[in-house]
Amino acid sequence: MFEFAVEATAGAARAGTLTLPHGSVRTPAFMPVGTHAVVRGLHPEELRRLGAQIILANTYHLHLRPGEMEVRVMGGLHRFTTWDRPMLTDSGGFQVFSLEGLRTIAEHGVEFQSHIDGSYHTITPEISMEIQWSLGADVAMQFDHVVPGQAPHALAEEGMDRSLRWLDRCRARHAELSDPGGLQTLWPIVQGGTHADLRRRSVDGIVARGPWTGVAIGGLSVGEPKPVMHRVLEELEPVLPREVPRYLMGVGFPADLLEGISRGVDLFDCVAATRNGRHGTAWVPDGRVNVKGAALRSDPGPLDPECDCEACTTFSRAYLRHLFMAGDMLGLRLVSIHNVRFLTRLGEQARTHILDGTFDGWSRAWLRRHYARGAT
């Protein structure tokens, strides 16, 4: 349980297998995001077909609706959703960042005002652990303090130090809740913004509190320039534990996956696949396709000729465009399906190339082609 085996490396890139109570995850892997205990628009069976090995859900949002006890009474997230493969819950820490303006931070915890009905809800490290325990995912994340990408040293330091203190409280509460050899593990999150010294202190603090079954990198892709994110990953790579999976939270776009994998990241999650899917942007090897664009009006070809997903093997670009123009939910679903498949497949391809020793050249060529048309 909670084992991670590295099977091959290519420079910093790794191919491994993570074993969790509900199954194993072959890495590198993209984890689709299902904040409200649903990957928006997608059926669990579709996710399985798309090669999703593990999906996320969110502590804060499920606490508000339907409430963790409701989920627990229904048998936990797996029974509730019928998703029987591994799951991971985010702690609500990201909402400290994304819901700025609806929350106030204190050392004790964070008070949120619900965007749904205006009611007040306090999340502390302990409460986050209790909620996540009730939800029952394979992996719970520590409650952390995420600051914006352009945060100055002092603010980034405050968030980083607080995250370490909160990690201690999370671990203590999680240990109380957890049976020996329990079915849920807890992962810490490296913070420190874009500042090398803070990132280093964060890793040191986490390692000193170890061992862990996985380590996350948080506070990236939150407004900092892309080269800065790459620099931070490069600085972290040599000091992060090698024997556990490294999870880059909230990333990313296709190119970000490859950039991350080549810098030693094993797991990713991102809402962009489904959000962009709903908003009509599809990822393709040559960049992106605006599904609503007039150029597709009478294009009989597939969205991405190289893709094996249902949208690409069944429908024309013209029809997909029509579905968006007609405002039908099938269009939103199909492009979401494609984007999720694009990322799970990218993980599979990277893994194959790491295992057979061709990762470097392949990923360089892939990125060159993808960036050629101005993709980000």
Active site residues: 90, 269
Judged by CB under 7 A, the number of residues near RNA is 58
Out of 121, 200, 226, 242, the only residue in the binding site for RNA (CB under 7 A) is 226
CA 91 to chain centre: 12
Minimum CB separation from RNA for residue 274, in Å? 3
**Pick from 12, 318, 325, 367: which binds RNA (CB under 7 A)?**
325
Tokens for 264?
Answer: 């030693």
Nearest residue (CB) to RNA, 221 versus 344: 221
Q: Within a 13 Å sphere around the CA of 98, how many CA atoms are in the beta-carbon half?
A: 12
Report in angstroms the alpha-carbon separations of 40 from 57, 131, 261: 11, 22, 26
Residue 3's identity, in one-letter code, is E
- Measured from the CB atom, the residue of 3 and 328 that comes closer to RNA is 328
Residues in 253-312 that interact with RNA by CB under 7 A: 253, 256, 269-272, 274-276, 278-281, 290, 292-295, 297
Per-residue binder mask for RNA (CB under 7 A), 172-211, x = binder: -----------------x----------------------
Please tell me whether residue 212 binds RNA under the rule CB under 7 A: no
Q: Which residues touch 131 (CB under 8 Å, ≥6 apart)?
A: 59, 62, 63, 68, 92, 123
Residues 6+ apart with CB under 8 A from 350: 13, 15, 28, 257, 258, 261, 359, 363
Residues 88-117 that bind RNA (CB under 7 A): 90-91, 93-95, 97-99, 101-102, 115
CA distances to 185, 352, 366 from 180, in Å: 11, 36, 45
Quick one: three-class SS letters along 230-287? HHHHHHHCCCCCCCCCEEECCCCCHHHHHHHHCCCCCEEEECHHHHHHHHCEEEECCE
Between 231 and 278, whose beta carbon lies closer to RNA? 278
Please state the closest distance from residue 37 (CB atom) to RNA, in A: 11
Q: How far apart, in whole angstroms, are the C-alpha atoms of residue 121 and residue 180?
A: 31
Q: Provide the mask over 121-160, with x wherever binding to RNA is found by CB under 7 A and - wherever it is not.
A: --------------------xx-x-x--------------
| Contact between 291 and 320 (Cβ < 8 Å) | yes
Alpha carbons 288 and 131: distance in angstroms, whole number: 38
Min dist. Cβ of residue 100 to RNA (A): 8
List residues binding RNA (CB under 7 A).
33-35, 39-40, 56, 58, 61, 90-91, 93-95, 97-99, 101-102, 115, 141-142, 144, 146, 189, 216, 218-219, 221-222, 226, 249-253, 256, 269-272, 274-276, 278-281, 290, 292-295, 297, 325, 327, 329, 332, 376
